[in-house]
C-alpha cells in the first residue's frame, strides 16, 4: 500500500502557502509543490517514504535560515519539522532533549528557567538543527566549544533499501560514523534529525561590551582586534563588524563569563591606541544578553547574499586595505564584513574528531550584503563574490553553515581533509544519494 503524507500539508493555492513556503532569504526564493509540517516523528518517516516511493525531489527544513535556500526547492516536497519543537530538561544530568524543529530562542529561554545554557548562535530565530549539524559558533564558543560538541544523542530518519525509511539513534558508540558526520558535516546530507540530546552548562549573569569607532580607524582597530580577540581569556568571545563607509561604523561586541570589573581590564588593549566614539560595558542575566546583541525587531525575510571564510593567520596590512576598499565601494550601507573570534575550546578538539574541520582557525569571517529591490541583486552578489575572491590569499575555506553556491571547491572549503570520511559515510548511509542538493556530500 502506498504511503500517505501525514501532518499539516500546505499546497500551492492554499491561503497559507505563501507564508509556508518563504525562507528568510528572498533572493532566489523557491516555490515547492507541497510542504508537509510534520507534527511527530512518524510524519517524518512517512514524508521520506512518500517522497522515495513517488521519486519526488525533497528538502528538509527547520529554521529556514539557509543562506542558499538549500532547505527549499521548486516543485518538490519540503519536509518541515519546525512544528516539532518540544524541549525537556533533566536538571540532575544537565541535559536537554530538544525536538529538532526548535529555534535557538526557544532553546535558550527554556534552558534559562533551569539556569542552564547551550552554546550556539546569537540570533533567536535560527533553527537549532541547522546550527548544530554544521557546527554552531556563538558567544560561548571560546569557553565551551561548538554546539555540535554538546550533542550526546540524535534520533535520525534515514533511507532504508530501495524505497523505505527508518528511525535510528546515533551516539559516540552507536552508529558512531553517522554521529561524527552530523557533528559539523552540514544539514540535509544524511537523514532528517528529529531530536537532539544536548549537554548543557550552568549559567547566571554575564558581562557584555559594545565599542564603536569611526570608519577611518578601520586599519588600526582591525589590526589590534585580530591580535587580541582569539588570544584573550577563553571566557571572552567577541565579534568585530566593519560596516560600509557610508554608515561610518566599526563595532566590536563581546560577552564575558565573569565580572564587569574584569571585563573592563580585558578590553583595555582594544582601547589603548584606538580612541573609540562610544564604549558600553554592562552585566546582565544571560538570557537578556541576546536582546543586547540582537536587533529588537528580529530577523525579517529580506534579499541577501552572504559568504565567508576562516582566518588562520593574522591578515596583513594589504589584506586589511582590500577590506577597506571594498567597504568604501559597497553597494549600500548595509554591507558588512563580520568576524567572530575562535580559539579556546573550539580548537581544543582536533579537526578530525568531528566533521567540523576548521578547529584551528582563529577567526570566522563573513561577507554580507542585504538589499530591498530585486534589481539590486547583481551588484550585491558581485560585491560579495569579488570580496571573498580577493581575500582568499589571506583566508581559508568556508563555514558549511555559510554556504555559497559560487564556491567551486566547496567540498574542500567546508570540510578540508574530513571530506573523504564524510563521503565514505554518505556511501554507507545513503548510497542512492536520496539526500541530494546543489552542495550535498556526494557518495563515492
Ligand atoms: C540571521 C542569521 C544569523 C546566524 N547566526 C549564526 C550564528 O550566530 N552562529 C552560527 O553558527 N550560524 C549562524 N547562522 C548560520 C546558521 O547556522 C545556518 O544558516 C543554519 O544552517 C540555519 O539552520 P536552520 O535550521 O535555521 O535553517 P534551514 O534553512 O531550515 O536548514 C539549514 C540546512 O540544514 C538542513 N536541515 C534543517 N533541519 C534539518 C534536520 N532536522 N535534519 C537534517 N537536516 C536539516 C536543511 O536541509 C539545510 O540544508 C546564522 C544565519 C542567519 C541567517
pLDDT in tens, 254-288: 999 999 999 999 999 999 989 999 999 999 999 88
Count of beta carbons in the 10 Å neighbourhood of residue 283: 16
pTM of the model as a whole: 0.97
**Same domain membership, residue 276 and residue 369:** yes
Question: Cα separation of 68 and 29, whole Å?
Answer: 9
Distance 155 CA to ligand 1 centre (A): 18
Among the listed residues 428, 429, 426, the one whose alpha carbon sits nearest the alpha carbon of residue 440: 426
The residues that bridge with 205 in the sheet, in sequence order, are 285
Question: Which of residues 57, 80, 103 is at a domain's end?
Answer: 80
**Same domain membership, residue 212 and residue 198:** no
**Same domain membership, residue 120 and residue 35:** no
Contact of 132 with 154, CB cutoff 8 Å: no
Question: Cα separation of 437 and 417, whole Å?
Answer: 21
Nearest CA to ligand 1 atom 50: 126
Confidence band for 67, pLDDT divided at 50, 70 and 90: very high
Residue 122 Cα: closest atom of ligand 1: 8
Contact of 88 with 264, CB cutoff 8 Å: no
Q: The domain that contains 398 carries what CATH number?
A: 3.40.462.20
Residue 147 Cα: closest atom of ligand 1: 11
**Same domain membership, residue 393 and residue 259:** yes
Average pLDDT over residues 93-99: 98
Alpha helices in 23-117 (DSSP H): 41-54, 104-112
Is a pLDDT exceeding 90 seen at residue 305?
yes
Average pLDDT over residues 46-55: 98
Nearest CA to ligand 1 atom 36: 187
Domain contains 300: yes
Domain contains 442: no
Instruction: For residue 129, give the H/E element and its range.
Output: helix 128-134
The residues that bridge with 241 in the sheet, in sequence order, are 251, 338
Question: Which of residues 80, 106, 128 is at a domain's end?
Answer: 80
Which three cell numbers, joined as nine digits, stand for 406? 559560487
Which three cell numbers, joined as nine digits, stand for 105? 530562542
**Same domain membership, residue 227 and residue 259:** yes
Distance 440 CA to ligand 1 centre (A): 14
Instruction: For residue 380, give the H/E element and its range.
Output: helix 377-391
Domain contains 3: no
**Same domain membership, residue 164 and residue 141:** yes
Measured from the CB, is residue 239 less than 6 Å from ligand 1? no
Question: Which of residues 42, 65, 80 is at a domain's end?
Answer: 80
Domain contains 434: no
Among the listed residues 245, 151, 256, 240, the one whose alpha carbon sits nearest the alpha carbon of residue 204: 256
Measured from the CB, is residue 99 less than 6 Å from ligand 1? no
**Same domain membership, residue 211 and residue 192:** no
Q: The domain that contains 101 carries what CATH number?
A: 3.30.465.10
Nearest CA to ligand 1 atom 38: 62
Residue 81 Cα: closest atom of ligand 1: 41
Confidence band for 294, pLDDT divided at 50, 70 and 90: confident
Q: What one-character DSSP code corresponds to residue 221?
A: H
Which pLDDT does position 296 carry in this prediction? 59
Which pLDDT does position 292 carry in this prediction? 85
Average pLDDT over residues 365-369: 97
Domain contains 436: no
**Same domain membership, residue 228 and residue 285:** yes
Average pLDDT over residues 281-310: 87
Q: What angle do CA 99, 104, 105 make, to 5 degrees?
A: 110
Which three cell numbers, joined as nine digits, stand for 114? 533551569
Question: Cα separation of 244 and 254, whole Å?
Answer: 21
Which pLDDT does position 236 carry in this prediction? 98
Q: The domain that contains 52 carries what CATH number?
A: 3.30.43.10
Give the structural domain span for 337: 205-411
Nearest CA to ligand 1 atom 48: 71
Instruction: For residue 168, give the H/E element and its range.
Output: strand 164-170
Per the structure, how many domains does the chain have? 3
Question: Cα separation of 190 and 434, whole Å?
Answer: 9
**Same domain membership, residue 15 and residue 72:** yes
Distance 67 CA to ligand 1 centre (A): 8
Contact of 82 with 37, CB cutoff 8 Å: yes
**Same domain membership, residue 212 and residue 299:** yes
Measured from the CB, is residue 61 less than 6 Å from ligand 1? yes
Which pLDDT does position 290 carry in this prediction? 82
**Same domain membership, residue 363 and residue 215:** yes
For 216-348, where are the E strands, in sequence order? 236-243, 250-256, 278-285, 303-311, 336-341
Average pLDDT over residues 112-119: 97
Question: Cα separation of 71 and 183, whole Å?
Answer: 18
Instruction: For residue 9, give the H/E element and its range.
Output: strand 8-10
Q: What one-character DSSP code corresponds to residue 232?
A: S
Which pLDDT does position 59 carry in this prediction? 98
Domain contains 301: yes
Reduce the DSSP state of residue 70 to 3 states and report it.
Answer: coil
Confidence band for 157, pLDDT divided at 50, 70 and 90: very high
pLDDT tens readout for residues 414-435: 999 999 999 999 999 999 999 9
Domain contains 439: no
Distances (CA, A) of 118 to 194, 294, 351, 418: 18, 18, 21, 25
**Same domain membership, residue 330 and residue 218:** yes
Average pLDDT over residues 382-390: 98
Confidence band for 297, pLDDT divided at 50, 70 and 90: low
Domain contains 190: yes
Amino acid at each position: 500500500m502506498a504511503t500517505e503524507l501525514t501532518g499539516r500539508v500546505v499546497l500551492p493555492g492554499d491561503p497559507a502557502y505563501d507564508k509556508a513556503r518563504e525562507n528568510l532569504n528572498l533572493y532566489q526564493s523557491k516555490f515547492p509543490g507541497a510542504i508537509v509540517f510534520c507534527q511527530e516523528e512518524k510524519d517524518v518517516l512517512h514524508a521520506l517514504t512518500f517522497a522515495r516511493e513517488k521519486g519526488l525531489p525533497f528538502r528538509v527544513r527547520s529554521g529556514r535560515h539557509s543562506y542558499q535556500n538549500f532547505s527549499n526547492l521548486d516543485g518538490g516536497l519540503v519536509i518541515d519539522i519546525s512544528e516539532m519543537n518540544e524541549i525537556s530538561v533533566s536538571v540532575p544530568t544537565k541535559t536537554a532533549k530538544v525536538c529538532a524543529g526548535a529555534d535557538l530562542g526557544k532553546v535558550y529561554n527554556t534552558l534559562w528557567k533551569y539556569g542552564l545554557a547551550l552554546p550556539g548562535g546569537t540570533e533567536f530565530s535560527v533553527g537549532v538543527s541547522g546550527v548544530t549539524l554544521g557546527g554552531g559558533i556563538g558567544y560561548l564558543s571560546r569557553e565551551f566549544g561548538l554546539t555540535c560538541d554538546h550533542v550526546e544523542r540524535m534520533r535520525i530518519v534515514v533511507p532504508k533499501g530501495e524505497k523505505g525509511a527508518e528511525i535510528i539513534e546515533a551516539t559516540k558508540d552507536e552508529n558512531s560514523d553517522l554521529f561524527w558526520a552530523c557533528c559539523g558535516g552540514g544539514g540535509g546530507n544524511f537523514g532528517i534529525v528529529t531530536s537532539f540530546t544536548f549537554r548543557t552548562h550552568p549559567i547566571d549573569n554575564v558581562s557584555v561590551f559594545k565599542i564603536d569607532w569611526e570608519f577611518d580607524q578601520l586599519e588600526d582597530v582591525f589590526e589590534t582586534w585580530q591580535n587580541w580577540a582569539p588570544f584573550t581569556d577563553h571566557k571572552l568571545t567577541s565579534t568585530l563588524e566593519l560596516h560600509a563607509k557610508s554608515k561610518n561604523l566599526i563595532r566590536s561586541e563581546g560577552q564575558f563569563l565573569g565580572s564587569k570589573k574584569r571585563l573592563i581590564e580585558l578590553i583595555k588593549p582594544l582601547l589603548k591606541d584606538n580612541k573609540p566614539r562610544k564604549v558600553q560595558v554592562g552585566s546582565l542575566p544571560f538570557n537578556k544578553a541576546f536582546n543586547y546583541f540582537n536587533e529588537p525587531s528580529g530577523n525579517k525575510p529580506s534579499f541577501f547574499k552572504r559568504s565567508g571564510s576562516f582566518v588562520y593567520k593574522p591578515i596583513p596590512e594589504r589584506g586589511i586595505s582590500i577590506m577597506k576598499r571594498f567597504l568604501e565601494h559597497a553597494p549600500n550601507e548595509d554591507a558588512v564584513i563580520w568576524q567572530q573570534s575562535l580559539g579556546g575550546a573550539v580548537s581544543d578538539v582536533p579537526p578530525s574528531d568531528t566533521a567540523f574541520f576548521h578547529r584551528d582557525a582563529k577567526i570566522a569571517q563573513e561577507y554580507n550584503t542585504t538589499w530591498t529591490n530585486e534589481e539590486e541583486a547583481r551588484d550585491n552578489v558581485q560585491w560579495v563574490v569579488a570580496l571573498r575572491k580577493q581575500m582568499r590569499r589571506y583566508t581559508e575555506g568556508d563555514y558549511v553553515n555559510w554556504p555559497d553556491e559560487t564556491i567551486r571547491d566547496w567540498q574542500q572549503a567546508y570540510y578540508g581533509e574530513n571530506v573523504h570520511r564524510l563521503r565514505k559515510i554518505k556511501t554507507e548511509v545513503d548510497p542512492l544519494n536520496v539526500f541530494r542538493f546543489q552542495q550535498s556530500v556526494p557518495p563515492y
